[in-house]
């Protein structure tokens, strides 16, 4: 028998079938032979590993692509057959945890897809190791690399970080003072990561570049805590991507106070009105506002100076340094002092301290605390004064003139005259404003020979004060018996003689000259005192139909009275200092009624 022996290894992949012809020859002569066809099928064994079409694959993928997106297809072939050629694809597990979280491969097709989030900022590229294994026994495998480049998208806004250098900035900080450091980071790459930073709102601050994406926030204008105690600085960072992304950060800058504001009074001059005889009390509270805060805004008050023309200020008023209350130290008498002036200084507690002043004018208001005083030759109630009247006296005959003064001023000093207790027939009348006592009619045989009169002189204050004078009017038969302390009255004649005419003209001329001189004197006086007392009311002159004439000014007041009887005229002038703020000038008309004009002092000019 013959044996077919394998001389060398077979390779199915090269020759899967071998065709042989076997010939058998005998030993005869001629030899005979026979043939046989032998077909040898070479069976496959798993002697070939899979082979990838490329050992290195490269691809690109955009970041943030959806899950399931195909990244690339890898392909491997195995020249074996049957199960030995069946390929299973997989990703290497060793050292590729971050890869396995983001990518997966189809075991049959070799398609690599996205499994998780792909973020350029976390990893701009991935190196994936893929494996192809056959199903032979034992299985054989092949490997390849897949390089995945992640394409950046502008998906990250800039990030702003602020580091404060100062908790607060003083309002007198100089230009360029650094307040905070600002850094900006954009995790994108390329133009997507290029950032421009700026202050968006209108504030006295700006950004100065220190280094790329590093800035300093500095003072760029004057600060005033009183106008703005804090600023909200809005910083915006914008990248160069498409579309551009931006982020905003708000920095609160607190401005601290410095003592740059002096206390301020609401007005430069304060007028205070105090009634005379008022008890010791607070007459005024002054207040100054300081727009600074804390000790810079704490205000104390003190007296700065007085006008030096009156009693020492310390004896009249005092001031509470904390509250600004001005307290009177005495009860004022209008007849002794009518006004005084001083300055109050308000000082803050800053360093250095700042201060301001206010002028305080104190006006004492008159109260009706003085009764009228009867002037000589008459005396007040308690003694009797006598006057003689001829029996032949006509109606309106001048008997006497009662004169009185009142130490008060204004309305409190305006006097009126009345016959309080007329006895017998009503024969006499008295001028309400002039005090002139005259006959109302001719005498008759039924009239008494002696007429006791009680004249009441009253002021017009509230309540009214008064004084009285007693006069006995004696009726005599002839004018030669008339003796008065004031004048010698010529006998009244029936005919108006030339002598009387000349005398009347002479007296009238003298009266006119005197009147013009008095007006000139008053005008000069007004001109001299105009500048010093401009803040007080202007002069006021009123005339009365019954012959009285009064003049009032802030520095002097004159009451000049003329009798309507020119033969018996006399003049009384009473000077008095200027009236207080509520002073009133009162004129008397022909009906013995009063007209009141009130004048108030003007505010002192600055």
The predicted-structure confidence for 396-452, as pLDDT tens digits, reads as follows 999 999 999 998 888 888 999 998 866 555 788 999 999 999 998 888 888 888 888
pLDDT of residue 446: 82
Shared domain check, 198 and 182: yes
Residue 17 forms part of a structural domain: no
Which pLDDT tens digit goes with each residue over 238-294?
Answer: 999 989 999 999 999 999 999 999 999 999 999 999 999 999 999 999 999 999 999
Largest Cα–Cα distance in the chain? 232
Residue 356's CATH number? 2.60.40.60
CA 407 to chain centre: 50
Other Cβ atoms less than 10 A from the Cβ of 298: the count is: 15
Shared domain check, 166 and 77: no
Which pLDDT tens digit goes with each residue over 64-113?
Answer: 999 999 999 999 999 888 888 899 999 998 888 889 999 999 999 999 99
d(CA 13, CA 53): 19
Residue 384 forms part of a structural domain: yes
Q: Does residue 486 register a pLDDT over 70?
A: no
Provide the residue range defining the domain that includes 282.
Answer: 264-365
Shared domain check, 433 and 455: yes
Mean pLDDT across 476-501: 53
Shared domain check, 554 and 519: yes
Q: Is residue 88 helix, strand or coil? A: strand
Q: Does residue 558 register a pLDDT over 60?
A: no
Lowest mean pLDDT among 244-258, 330-344, 476-490, 589-603: 589-603
Residue 435 forms part of a structural domain: yes
d(CA 403, CA 377): 9
Shared domain check, 350 and 394: no
Residue 528 forms part of a structural domain: yes
Shared domain check, 102 and 193: no
Residue 24 forms part of a structural domain: no
DSSP character for 455?
Answer: E
DSSP character for 490?
Answer: P
Residue 515 forms part of a structural domain: yes
Lowest mean pLDDT among 17-31, 429-443, 555-569: 555-569
Residue 92 forms part of a structural domain: yes
Residue 334 forms part of a structural domain: yes
d(CA 489, CA 467): 28
- Please indicate whether residue 307 or residue 598 has the higher confidence score (pLDDT): 307
Cα Rg for the chain, rounded, in angstroms? 63
d(CA 103, CA 92): 11
End residue of a domain, out of 202, 224, 256: 256
Q: Among residues of the chain, what percentage have pLDDT more than 90?
A: 47
Mean pLDDT across 161-171: 91
Q: Does residue 582 register a pLDDT over 50?
A: no
In terms of Cα–Cα distance, which of 533, 534, 577, 584 is closest to 558?
577
Q: Assign 50 a pLDDT band (cuts: 50, 70, 90).
A: very high
Q: Does residue 190 register a pLDDT over 70?
A: yes
Lowest mean pLDDT among 14-18, 222-226, 558-562: 558-562
Q: Assign 499 a pLDDT band (cuts: 50, 70, 90).
A: low
- Please indicate whether residue 412 or residue 566 has the higher confidence score (pLDDT): 412
Can you give the length of the chain in residues? 606
Q: Is 215 exposed, middle or buried (0-12, 13-18, 19+ CB in 10 A)?
A: buried
What is the β-pairing status of strands 548-552 and 557-561? antiparallel
Contacts of 29 (CB under 8 A, 6+ apart): none
Shared domain check, 322 and 435: no
- Please indicate whether residue 562 or residue 483 has the higher confidence score (pLDDT): 483
Shared domain check, 352 and 398: no
Shared domain check, 164 and 144: no
d(CA 492, CA 479): 9
pLDDT of residue 585: 38
Mean pLDDT across 174-197: 92
Q: Assign 587 a pLDDT band (cuts: 50, 70, 90).
A: very low
pLDDT of residue 533: 41
Q: Assign 528 a pLDDT band (cuts: 50, 70, 90).
A: low
Which pLDDT tens digit goes with each residue over 167-181?
Answer: 899 999 999 999 999
Mean pLDDT across 459-469: 90
> Under a CB-based contact definition with an 8 Å cutoff, are residues 26 and 32 in contact?
yes
d(CA 253, CA 241): 31
d(CA 371, CA 381): 13
Q: Which long-range contacts (CB under 8 A, 24 or more apart) does 263-266 make?
A: 263/288, 263/289, 263/290, 263/299, 263/346, 263/347, 263/348, 263/354, 263/355, 263/356, 264/288, 264/289, 264/290, 264/291, 264/356, 265/346, 265/356, 265/357, 265/358
pLDDT of residue 462: 87
- Please indicate whether residue 604 or residue 427 has the higher confidence score (pLDDT): 427
Mean pLDDT across 586-601: 40
Q: Does residue 383 register a pLDDT over 80?
A: no
Shared domain check, 145 and 164: no
End residue of a domain, out of 306, 336, 365: 365
pLDDT of residue 88: 94
Other Cβ atoms less than 10 A from the Cβ of 520: the count is: 10
Q: For the chain, how many structural domains are there in total? A: 4
pLDDT of residue 509: 86
Cis? peptide before 298, omega within 30° of 0: no
Contacts of 186 (CB under 8 A, 6+ apart): 156, 157, 158, 159, 192, 193, 194, 195, 237, 239
Shared domain check, 304 and 396: no
Shared domain check, 181 and 97: no
pLDDT of residue 257: 93
Q: Assign 380 a pLDDT band (cuts: 50, 70, 90).
A: low
Lowest mean pLDDT among 292-306, 462-476, 498-512, 528-542: 528-542
Lowest mean pLDDT among 184-193, 407-416, 485-494: 485-494
End residue of a domain, out of 121, 151, 181: 151
């Amino acid at each position: 028998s013959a044996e077919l022996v394998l001389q060398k290894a077979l390779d199915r992949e090269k020759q899967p079938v071998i065709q042989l012809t076997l010939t058998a020859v005998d030993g005869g002569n001629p030899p005979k032979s026979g043939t046989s066809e032998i077909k040898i099928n070479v069976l496959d064994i798993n002697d070939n590993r899979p082979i990838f079409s490329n050992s290195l694959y490269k691809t690109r993928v955009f970041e943030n692509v959806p899950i399931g997106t195909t990244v690339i297809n890898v392909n491997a072939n195995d020249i074996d057959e049957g199960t030995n050629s069946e390929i299973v694809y997989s990703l290497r597990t060793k050292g590729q945890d971050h890869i396995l979280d983001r990518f997966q491969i189809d075991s049959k097709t070799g398609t690599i897809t996205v499994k998780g989030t792909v973020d350029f900022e976390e990893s701009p590229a991935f190196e994936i190791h893929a494996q192809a294994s056959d199903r032979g026994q034992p299985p054989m495998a092949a490997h390849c690399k897949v390089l995945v480049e992640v394409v950046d998208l502008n998906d990250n806004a800039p990030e702003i970080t602020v580091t404060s250098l100062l908790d607060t900035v003083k309002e007198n900080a100089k230009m360029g003072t650094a307040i905070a450091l600002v850094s900006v980071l954009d995790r994108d790459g390329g133009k997507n990561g290029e950032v421009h930073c700026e202050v968006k709102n209108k504030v006295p601050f700006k950004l100065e570049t220190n280094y790329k994406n590093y800035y300093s926030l500095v003072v760029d204008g004057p600060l005033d805590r009183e106008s703005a105690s804090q600023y909200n600085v809005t910083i915006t960072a914008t990248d160069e991507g498409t579309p551009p992304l931006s982020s905003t950060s708000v920095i609160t800058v607190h401005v601290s106070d410095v003592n740059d504001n002096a206390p301020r009074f609401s007005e430069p001059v304060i007028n205070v009105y105090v009634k005379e005889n008022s008890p010791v009390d607070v007459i005024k509270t002054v207040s100054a506002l300081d727009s600074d805060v804390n000790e810079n805004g704490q205000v104390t008050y003190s007296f700065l100076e007085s006008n030096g023309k009156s009693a020492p200020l310390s004896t009249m008023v005092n001031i509470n340094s904390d509250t600004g209350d001005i307290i009177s130290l005495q009860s004022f008498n209008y007849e002794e002092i009518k006004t005084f002036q001083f300055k109050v200084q308000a000082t803050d507690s800053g360093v250095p301290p700042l201060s301001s002043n206010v002028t305080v004018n104190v006006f004492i208001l008159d109260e009706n605390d003085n009764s009228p005083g009867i002037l000589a030759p008459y005396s007040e109630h308690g003694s009797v004064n006598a006057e003689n009247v001829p029996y032949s006296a006509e109606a309106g005959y001048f008997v006497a003139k009662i004169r009185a003064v009142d130490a008060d001023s204004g309305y409190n000093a305006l006097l009126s005259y009345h016959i309080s207790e007329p006895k017998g027939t009503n024969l006499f009348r008295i001028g309400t404003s002039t005090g002139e006592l005259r006959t109302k009619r001719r005498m008759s045989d039924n009239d008494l020979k002696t007429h006791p009169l009680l004249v009441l002189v009253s002021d017009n204050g509230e309540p009214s004060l008064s004084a009285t004078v007693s006069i006995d009017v004696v009726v005599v038969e002839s004018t030669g018996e008339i003796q008065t302390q004031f004048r010698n009255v010529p006998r009244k004649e029936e005919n108006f003689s030339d002598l009387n005419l000349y005398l009347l003209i002479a007296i009238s001329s003298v009266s006119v000259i005197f009147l013009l001189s008095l007006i000139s004197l008053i005008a000069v006086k007004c001109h001299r005192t105009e500048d010093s007392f401009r803040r007080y009311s202007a002069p006021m002159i009123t005339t009365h139909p019954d012959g009285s004439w009064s003049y009032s000014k802030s520095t002097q007041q004159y009451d000049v009275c003329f009798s309507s009887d020119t033969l018996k005229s006399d003049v009384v002038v009473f000077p008095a200092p200027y009236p207080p703020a509520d002073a009133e000038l009162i004129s008397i008309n022909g009906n013995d009624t009063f007209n009141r004009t009130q004048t108030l002092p003007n505010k002192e000019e600055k």
